[in-house]
Amino acid sequence: MRSQAPKPAPDLLVFVNGEQLTGTLEKADGKSITFKSLMAGEITVPWSNIRTLHSSQTFAVLKPKQQLTRKNALTAAPEGAISAETTDKKTEVSVTSPTATTKLPLSEVDQLIPTADFTKALQPIRFDQGWAGTASGGISLVRSTQNSTTFNGAIALTRALPTVGWLPPRSRTSLGYTQSYGTTSQVGEPTVETNIFHAGIEQDEYFSPKLFVLVDGAFDHNFSSNLDLQQAYGAGIGYNVLKTAKQQLDVKVDVHYEKQSFFDPTTTDNIIGSTFSEAYLRNLPKKIVFTEFGSFTPAWNDTSAYSAHINGSLGFPVYKGLGFGIAAIDDYLNDAPVGSNKNSSQFNLNLTYTIKPK
């Protein structure tokens, strides 16, 4: 009977006061480690509270400001079992591979990444992998003298490659769709309908970690403004102004062809224009996420055919991927036909689901 290989010993964490925890080292950066034990659960511990750390698992060690690529990462980042010791308030991290031991001061450690995750991030992925985003939906029903039904829904997906922040960005694909549809009816009165939707697609290709070129397409329908379909196809450039663990800000400009088809066929417009836009994301405490997007679209061959859009949302987690969101959307169409509102505003409270990449 073949004997089973012994299980590796649990990782050991010793605090500066002498207390100990056994469990699993999950990850670390230059400020703290994430350690999971059976008794304490998952905890984050600053390096200043650690006397010694021993892990039989293997990690890749990333250094501060190290410029890695898929080609050089395997040779540039030391990999091996991790141990650390603090002496005279100075912490030294040791990386032990089958052939050598590398010792680094904590100031030269930016991240510890499990070897399996490190290797996986360097492999090509299928088209159906790497997508992240949110889906949301809400409905309102009123049954009285007036019968009112309103539905709103949205989905936003992004596929950024590589899927990790420690490699320089190569490309990003964004897909989005929002719709609000409602009817209000009363006996003896005509039914009033509201129908607004927006769909967009964008492909970004990076020249540097901040500068990228883009191609995009957008499709809009607004029954309230008598807009049957507005479609735009363009190309432009974008720049990542700010990107940290807490927030991100992108600015973009494109040149595009746009066709506006109204319910009155005599008012169809063919437009050459640009879209100036910005997108902002902020991670707030308690995993609350704020997002905001604004755009202004002038037309170069018809100065009256300009439009603007702004939306903002707050997402609140509830349980696992489920949560709820608050969103406000405002659209302005300057060349709406006479008798139609130029401005359309929406306020939505939705159930949400967070889509995580495979």
Question: What's residue 5's pLDDT?
Answer: 52
76 conformational bin, left if phi > 0, alpha if psi -120 to 50, beta if neither: alpha
Taking alpha carbons only, the member of 45, 25, 46 closest to residue 36 is 25
CB 231 within 8 Å of CB 259:
yes
Prediction pTM value: 0.85
C-alpha span between 8 and 5 (Å, rounded):
9
Question: What's residue 6's pLDDT?
Answer: 59
What is residue 302's three-state secondary structure? coil
Q: What is the mean pLDDT of each run of 10 residues along the chain (358 residues)?
A: 63 94 94 91 94 94 89 90 91 92 93 93 90 93 88 94 91 95 89 90 96 96 89 97 93 95 82 95 94 94 91 94 93 86 89 90
Question: What's residue 1's pLDDT?
Answer: 46
- In a 13 Å sphere around the CA of 302, the CA atoms on its Cβ side amount to 15
Q: 263-276: buried (b, 16+ CB within 10 Å) or exposed (e) per residue?
A: eeeebebebebbbe
- What does the DSSP 8-state code read for residue 19? -
What's domain 131-355's architecture?
Answer: Beta Barrel (2.40)
Torsion 39-45-48-54 (CA) sign: positive
Domain with CATH 2.40.160.40 in the chain: 131-355
CA distances from 332 to 2, 187, 217, 357 (A): 74, 32, 19, 34
